[in-house]
Amino acid sequence: MAIPGEAYKALEDIVGEENITDEPATLDAYAYQFWAEFRQEGSKFMPRAGAVVLPKDTEEVQAIVRACNRYKLKCKASSTGWGLHAAPLVEDAIQLDMRRMDRIIEIDEKNMYAVIEPCVIGNTLQAEAMKVGLNTHMIGAGGSCSPLASATSFYGIGPDSLFMGTSPENLLGAEWVMPNGDILRTGSLGSGGGWFCGDGPGPSLRGVFRGAIGHAGGLGVFTKCAIKLYPWTGPAIMPIEGKPPLYTTPLPSIIRGHTITWSNWDGYRDALWKIFDNDIGYIAHRQFIMFGNELQGAALQIVTDPAKTIDDLEEIVSKPETQKLSEELYRSHKDKNFFPGLIEFMLTAPSVALVAEGKGVVQRVRELIGERVPEEADPGTIRREYASDGRRNIVHGSDSPGSARREIECLFSSQELYSYQDNRWLESEPG
């Protein structure tokens, strides 16, 4: 059902007719979230809003919240829209799209903070901060996300947390339109002392409005906040080389990059703690990349050779050594008449390779995969649900421990395999 016409008119009077819509296709576009299926029983759509409004400033946000209270409508704000977190949880709520509020209000070089609005993105803030010898924490979700949303309403951890902490730790003063429409200014801002401190005088309010990991937009709307910045002695503008997806920037002379591996997670944890405790780390990023079995060699060539791009993938895949890898994986079928077609099929698209470990794992994985011919596979198995036919049956699984060992050796080095040591929970019988 649509929101009442009187309510729509009240919201339109606040933001103007060009900044509000209840057009169905637009509402569906806002409702679509690629993670929604985790909450919506398989659907990729969150509950559809009754209308979307685009406020331009704090006063309009306050008026919208008060109008929603007057007409008994729920409302929720979204800034850069990463994931489903800021989507309405009920039908016909009012979705506040904060994209018009995208200003960096101030960068205080002396006190090292920036005051920003909700739709300032990390990349923009970082670029402007570097011009004055400062830098900002960048969350793991990337530079296209909102530092304000991460600091006030979620939990932003990233590779540079080793040096700059997490988003909540970098939150200073904030301007908050509470669910009743009142405006609360927290920290030093609330006592007229400016933006420089997130706590006091008196009890801290950060724990009230964000808790441990934030409320994801469910407790009013944050319209401004101050973010702590950090020293940057590198270039004011980072030079960019190459083209997507392989654009790079040379490391400044003050920074060295190291690739380090550990044989176990305990070593990784302990080493990072020592790096942090000695103030020598700036960024620590754990990267795991898995390419499909027929593309692994080709993709590695692309990543490691600056002259190669994704456009060279077809040429690399056609090389004899790439063909040889696919043939080795399926050598047990080499004398079969379908072998040439199988190899050709395996080279047509990316694959994902994984190693599973557990009691009776070969049989269990094959039960999950299903029979070779989709029509003969049990309902709910991968091949029954997704395969086209017996030849293009979408997934492969080792048929014995011996085959598994051989195939794992083709695709993985020993350093890429992790074995769970404590098997008590795997071996114990359910009570």
Query: What pairing do the DSSP bridges indicate for beta strands 113-116 and 134-135?
Result: unpaired
Q: Is 335 exposed, middle or buried (0-12, 13-18, 19+ CB in 10 A)?
A: exposed
Token pair recorded at residue 23: 């057009």
- Cα angle 75-79-81, degrees, rounded to a multiple of 5: 95
Query: What span, in angstroms and rounded, lies between the C-alpha atoms of 338 and 239?
Result: 52
Helix (H, G, I), strand (E, B) or coil at 241: strand
Helix (H, G, I), strand (E, B) or coil at 177: strand
DSSP string, 379-404: TTSHHHHH--SSSS-S----SSHHHH
> Is 396 known to be catalytic?
yes
Query: What span, in angstroms and rounded, lies between the C-alpha atoms of 78 and 98?
Result: 6
Query: What span, in angstroms and rounded, lies between the C-alpha atoms of 304 and 292?
Result: 17
Asked if 174 and 228 count as a contact pair (C-beta separation under 8 A), the reply is no
Which of 396, 404, 400, 394 lies closest to 356 in space, CA to CA? 404
32-48: b or e for each residue (b if 16 or more CB lie within 10 Å)? ebeebeeebeeeeebbb
Token pair recorded at residue 250: 């040379």
Asked if 230 and 111 count as a contact pair (C-beta separation under 8 A), the reply is no
Contacts of 286 (CB under 8 A, 6+ apart): 268
Which of 220, 236, 252, 265 lies closest to 58 in space, CA to CA? 220
Query: What span, in angstroms and rounded, lies between the C-alpha atoms of 199 and 208?
Result: 12
227 DSSP β-pair partners: 114, 171
Token pair recorded at residue 310: 């994704």
Select which of 85, 137, 285, 396 is catalytic. 396
Report, as residue numbers or ranges, the catalytic residues: 396
